[in-house]
Amino acid sequence: MNRSILIIAGEASGDNVGGLLCEEVKRLRSDIRLFGLGGDRMKNAGVEILYHIDRLSFLGFWEIVRHIPFMRSVESNLLLEMDKEKPVLAILIDYPGFNLRFARKLKSRGIPVLYYVSPQVWAWGRNRIQKIKSLVDKMIVVFEFEKELYSREGMEVEWFGHPLLDIIKPGLSGADFHNKAGLENDQRYIGLFPGSRLQEVERILPIMRDSVRTVRSKGMDVMSIVGGAPGIEDSFYRKIIGDDFTLMKNMTYDIMANADLNLVASGTATLECAILGKPLFVLYKTSPLTYYIAKNLVKIPDIGLVNVVAGKRIVPEFIQSDCNTENIAGKISDYFSNESYRGKMAGDLENVRSKLGQKGASRKAAESVLKMLSGAWN
C-alpha cells in the first residue's frame, strides 16, 4: 500500500512549521514517506527534499517575474515525481502563489489536498476563499479568527493553536547569553531582525543600523545585536553593519528574549516576539512597484501579524516611506523614556499570546493528517 505524502513549503516560516508537523507525523507513523519542497528543518524531520527553499524564496514583483521559467521547471519536475510516486495526500503550506496553482494539478489527479497555514485571505480579500474552497479538501489554520472565516464559507477547517508555541523559548539563561554576546549584565541592547531574504536584509538593515546610530549619537547608551539568517553569509551583513554591531546566528530567540527592544521585519518574527513577551517595532520596505501593487490589494490597516492578531495597532509599524531613520530613531527615544508606554505594550503583547491557543498544535495537526490518510486507505 502506498504510504507517501507530498509536502510543499517555499519559505523559511513554512519550513519551520512544516518541520514540526513532519516530526510528529513520523513519530506517529514512521513508515510514511514524505517528499517535496522545503528547507533544513523539514529535511531533518525526514522529508526527501527535491528543491530547497534557498532556491524558491523570492521577494518583489520583478524578482518573481524574473524567476517564472525556473518555477515552471520546478513545477514540471515535481509533477513528474508525483505521477511516478502517486502520493495519497498532498500537504501545502502557505506559499499561495505556487501552492494554489499547483493545487489545481493535484485536484485533476484526484489527490486529496490539505492546506496548512492559510494564505492571508483576510488581507487580500475574502473572495479568494471560494477559489481555495474549490481546490482544497481541508484547511488547518494557525489563527482562531481564520477558522471563523473558512467555516462561514462552508469549508472543512480546523484550528489547534499556533505551532510556534511549541518551540519558541530561549536556549540559554540570561546570564549565559549576556556572557556569550559579550555584554555586561545591565547593558541595554536592541535586537535587529531584518528578515530571512537577501533583498529584505539589503533594504531594511541599513535603516535599522542608521536608526540605532542616530540614538547613540544623541547620547543613548545602547548596543545592538543583529539576528542573522542561516542562509546569508556573514560577509553580507558585515558590509552593511561594519564592526560596531554584534552579529549572531542561530540564536534568534535568545536575542529577542533578552533585548530591551526589537526592530523586526514584518512577518512571523513579530509573533515570535509576542510569544516571548518582548517589545518590538515592525519595519518593512520593498521596491516602489511591489509596494504599489500590494497597497492596492491589501484590505487591512496593519500588516504586522502581531497587530493583526490583536485586532488593533499595539506596536508601531514603519512601512515604506515611513520606514526611515528619523521616524524610527524618534520612536526608539520615546519608547525608552516612557515607562507607561512600555508597560502598555507589554500588557498588549500578553493578550496576543493568549489568542494563539495552547501548545501541542503540531501533534494535533499530525493526527488530523493521519485521519485523512485513513480515509484514503479505506
Q: Work out whether strand 261-265 and strand 189-193 pair parallel, antiparallel, or are unpaired.
A: parallel
pTM of the model: 0.86
pLDDT of residue 375: 64
Sign of the Cα torsion 265, 267, 271, 272 reads negative
Domain ranges of the chain: 4-162+358-377, 174-354
* 54-63, 71-80, 85-94, 278-287: least confident range: 54-63
pLDDT of residue 13: 86
Q: Assign residue 303 a region (left: φ > 0; alpha: ψ between -120 and 50; beta: otherwise).
A: alpha
pLDDT of residue 43: 97
* 63-72, 110-119, 268-277, 303-312: least confident range: 63-72
pLDDT of residue 222: 94
pLDDT digits (tens, 9 = 90+) for 323-371: 999 999 999 999 999 999 999 999 999 999 999 999 999 999 999 999 9
Please check the confidence at residue 1 and state whether its pLDDT lies above 60: no
Give domain 174-354's CATH architecture: 3-Layer(aba) Sandwich (3.40)
Please check the confidence at residue 377 and state whether its pLDDT lies above 60: no
User: Residue 61's pLDDT band (boundaries 50, 70, 90)?
Assistant: very low
What's the whole-number mean pLDDT along residues 26-34?
Answer: 95
Please check the confidence at residue 114 and state whether its pLDDT lies above 90: yes
What's the whole-number mean pLDDT along residues 33-39?
Answer: 95
Helices (H), the chain: 12-28, 40-44, 61-66, 68-85, 96-108, 121-124, 128-135, 144-152, 174-181, 198-217, 234-241, 252-258, 268-276, 288-297, 305-310, 325-337, 339-354, 361-377
Give the number of other CB atoms < 10 A from CB of residue 335: 19
pLDDT digits (tens, 9 = 90+) for 85-104: 999 999 999 988 899 999 99
Please check the confidence at residue 201 and state whether its pLDDT lies above 60: yes
Q: Considering the chain, what is the average pLDDT of its residues? A: 90
* 26-35, 49-58, 156-165: least confident range: 49-58
Facing residues of 140 across strands?
A: 116, 158
- Tell me if domain 4-162+358-377 and domain 174-354 are identical in fold: yes
Q: What percentage of the chain has pLDDT greater than the value 70?
A: 90
User: Residue 195's pLDDT band (boundaries 50, 70, 90)?
Assistant: very high
Q: What percentage of the chain has pLDDT greater than the value 90?
A: 73
- Distance between CA atoms of 252 and 254, rounded to whole angstroms? 6
pLDDT of residue 62: 44
User: Residue 286's pLDDT band (boundaries 50, 70, 90)?
Assistant: confident
Residues in contact with 223: Cβ distance below 8 Å, sequence separation at least 6, in sequence order? 183, 187, 188, 189, 190, 246
Give the domain 4-162+358-377 fold: Rossmann fold (3.40.50)
- Distance between CA atoms of 155 and 328, rounded to whole angstroms? 42
User: Residue 296's pLDDT band (boundaries 50, 70, 90)?
Assistant: low
User: Residue 290's pLDDT band (boundaries 50, 70, 90)?
Assistant: low
pLDDT of residue 235: 96
Is residue 293 helix, strand or coil?
A: helix
